[in-house]
């Protein structure tokens, strides 16, 4: 198996100068690859390290590595083995299934905020019917379902949940497609569906084809992970929630480095958090029957880089400010000013993450007078400043 050799000047507890780290993370999905990118970035800046790594998926068996004399492991808890634990070296678990030794640090995704972003996005499309599609036997999928259900019900709507078939013959995706397509036909339309991840989102889109349902006009779908390969191969392209997985990989490597050098740390959990929504065609819809509200929302989205005022939005409609304000609260559950702020800060967040533009240039692009002004505006919506947000999510 391939081993990447890099050298280090730090001395480990066993007297070796070169940290040798086993990486048992899937390369078949963006989540695992992004973790590996973050780990690699840390090793370049603070290593060098030697890595044991091989192409993997979530079900790959644990290799036999006792003779390699590793000094640390970052691994999925779906491939736990007695042999790896017998090495008795610093280990960080990236959670996929429930259950892990209590004394081991872990990497876990913030499912609550993932679900919150999905709910807010689908609600902002004006949808009034919602569903969730996940995997019943995976804890993080069930966590996302529970949180998404709470947010949808708090907004005053009912959630439909795909339970999957209990019949054995439907367990393969080839067979399950017809079962899922029948479920989709029973749902009220138009409907917004949160899929637990991009793989499941792709499943929903494929089942929509079999059911002859139009996306996004009848069914809008959003996934999680922003795996660009899956999202762009989907037809239509899949909207998704981006995660700061690479940042978490960097933090996991930093924690492991401390553990390998005998430095105690209170850190027990590294959180992968949702950063922003990457909008694609699968949710490119305004399912709002009110033409005045549609016109107002379109105006806000098209002019988000400018200093839009509530009166500017009202002027694009035939309604009084009071009437338009009332319809906004009824249909999208926000005031006009709250919608302006949300759209503008979402666009600023996207620019912070997806570009390397300096803060001063972003300030100018959004018509703010100075960096202090844009930072206050952004912090009110995102609960953190511009630089902190970029450092956390980029």
More reliable by pLDDT, 142 or 69: 142
Q: Are residues 56 and 93 in the same domain?
A: yes
In which domain, by residue range, is 8 found? 3-107+245-271
Q: Are residues 307 and 234 in the same domain?
A: no
Nearby residues of 106 by Cβ (< 8 Å), 6 or more positions away: 77, 92, 93, 94, 95, 100, 268, 269, 270
Of 229, 253, 283, the domain-final residue? 283
Q: Could you read off the pLDDT of 306-356 as tens digits, one per residue?
A: 999 999 999 999 999 999 999 998 888 889 999 999 999 999 998 998 889
User: What pLDDT is recorded for position 16?
Assistant: 58
Q: How far apart are CA 30 and CA 253, in angstroms?
A: 18
Backbone angles phi, psi at 104, to 5 degrees: -95, 135
The DSSP call for residue 230 is: H
Q: Are residues 258 and 337 in the same domain?
A: no
Residue 109 has pLDDT above 50, yes or no: yes
Helix, strand and coil in the chain, % to nearest 5: 50, 15, 40
Q: How far apart are CA 42 and CA 258, in angstroms?
A: 12
Whose tokens are 């929302």? That residue is 297
Q: How far apart are CA 282 and CA 351, in angstroms?
A: 22
Read off the tokens for 96.
């996929």
- Residue 334: which CATH number? 1.10.10.60
CA-based nearest residue to 136, from 163, 172, 98: 163
Lowest mean pLDDT among 74-83, 103-112, 225-234, 329-338: 74-83
Q: How far apart are CA 132 and CA 150, in angstroms?
A: 12
- Residue 153: which CATH number? 3.40.50.2300
Decide: helix, strand or coil at residue 24: strand
Q: What would the mean pLDDT of 200-208 be, rounded to a whole number?
A: 96
What is the distance, to the nearest Å, from the Cα of residue 197 to the centroid of all Cα atoms in its chain? 8
Q: How far apart are CA 272 and CA 242, in angstroms?
A: 10
Read off the tokens for 130.
């919602």
Q: Are residues 14 and 42 in the same domain?
A: yes
Q: Are residues 214 and 265 in the same domain?
A: no
Q: Are residues 224 and 349 in the same domain?
A: no
Let me know: does 144 contact 111? Beta carbons within 8 Å. Answer: yes
Residue 137 has pLDDT above 90, yes or no: no
- Of all residues in the chain, the percent with pLDDT exceeding 70 is 87
Average pLDDT, the chain: 87
Q: Are residues 297 and 372 in the same domain?
A: yes
Q: Could you read off the pLDDT of 156-201 as tens digits, one per residue?
A: 999 999 987 665 555 677 788 989 999 999 999 999 999 999 999 9
Let me know: does 51 contact 4? Beta carbons within 8 Å. Answer: yes
User: What pLDDT is recorded for position 21?
Assistant: 93
Beta bridge partners of 131: 160, 193
Into how many domains does the chain fold?
A: 3
The DSSP call for residue 170 is: G
Q: Are residues 115 and 103 in the same domain?
A: no
The answer for 54, left when phi > 0, alpha when psi is -120 to 50, beta otherwise, is beta
Q: Are residues 85 and 159 in the same domain?
A: no
Let me know: does 259 contact 179? Beta carbons within 8 Å. Answer: no
The answer for 34, left when phi > 0, alpha when psi is -120 to 50, beta otherwise, is alpha
User: What pLDDT is recorded for position 56?
Assistant: 59
Q: What would the mean pLDDT of 291-315 be, rounded to a whole number?
A: 92
Q: Are residues 60 and 93 in the same domain?
A: yes
Let me know: does 214 contact 205? Beta carbons within 8 Å. Answer: no
Q: What would the mean pLDDT of 204-214 be, rounded to a whole number?
A: 96
Burial category of 378 from C-beta neighbours within 10 Å (exposed 0-12, middle 13-18, buried 19 and up): buried
What is the distance, to the nearest Å, from the Cα of residue 182 to the centroid of all Cα atoms in its chain? 28
Lowest mean pLDDT among 9-13, 34-38, 94-98: 9-13
| pLDDT category of residue 57 using cuts at 50, 70 and 90 | low
Q: Are residues 85 and 120 in the same domain?
A: no
Q: Are residues 11 and 65 in the same domain?
A: yes
Decide: helix, strand or coil at residue 394: coil
Nearby residues of 123 by Cβ (< 8 Å), 6 or more positions away: 155, 192, 332, 333
Q: How far apart are CA 296 and CA 314, in angstroms?
A: 7
């Amino acid at each position: 198996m391939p081993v990447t050799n890099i050298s280090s000047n730090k001395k480990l507890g066993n007297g070796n100068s070169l940290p040798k780290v086993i990486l048992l993370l899937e390369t078949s999905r963006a989540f695992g690859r992004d973790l590996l990118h973050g780990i690699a970035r840390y090793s370049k800046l603070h290593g060098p390290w030697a890595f044991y790594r091989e192409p993997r998926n979530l079900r790959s068996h644990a290799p036999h590595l006792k003779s390699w004399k590793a000094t640390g492991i970052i691994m999925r808890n779906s491939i736990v083995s007695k042999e790896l634990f017998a090495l008795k070296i610093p280990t960080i678990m990236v959670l996929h299934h429930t259950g892990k030794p209590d004394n081991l640090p872990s990497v876990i995704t913030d499912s609550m905020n993932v679900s919150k972003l999905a709910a807010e996005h689908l609600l902002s499309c004006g949808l009034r019917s919602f569903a969730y599609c996940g995997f019943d036997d995976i804890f993080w999928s069930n966590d996302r379902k529970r949180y998404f259900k709470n947010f949808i019900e708090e907004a005053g709507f009912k959630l439909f949940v795909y339970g999957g078939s209990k019949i054995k013959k439907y367990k393969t995706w080839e067979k399950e497609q017809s079962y899922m397509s029948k479920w989709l036909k029973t749902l009220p339309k138009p409907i917004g569906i949160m899929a637990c991840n991009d793989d499941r989102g792709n499943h929903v889109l494929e089942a929509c084809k079999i059911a002859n349902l139009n996306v996004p006009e009848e069914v809008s779908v959003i996934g999680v992970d922003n795996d660009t390969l899956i999202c762009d191969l989907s037809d239509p392209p899949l909207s998704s929630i981006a995660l700061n997985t690479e940042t978490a990989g960097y933090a996991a490597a930093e924690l492991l480095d401390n553990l390998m050098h005998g430095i105690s740390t209170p850190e027990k959990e590294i959180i992968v958090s949702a950063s922003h929504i990457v909008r694609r065609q699968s949710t490119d819809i305004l399912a709002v029957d009110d033409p005045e509200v549609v016109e107002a929302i379109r105006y806000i989205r098209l002019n988000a880089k400018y200093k839009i005022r509530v009166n500017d939005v009202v002027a694009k409609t035939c309604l009084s400010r009071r009437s338009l304000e009332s319809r906004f609260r009824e249909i999208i559950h926000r005031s006009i000013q709250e919608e302006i702020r949300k759209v503008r800060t979402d666009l600023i967040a996207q620019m912070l993450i997806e570009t390397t533009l300096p803060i001063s240039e972003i300030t100018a692009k959004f018509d703010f007078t100075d960096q202090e002004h844009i930072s206050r505006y952004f912090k009110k919506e995102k609960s953190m400043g511009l630089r902190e947000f970029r450092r956390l999510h980029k």
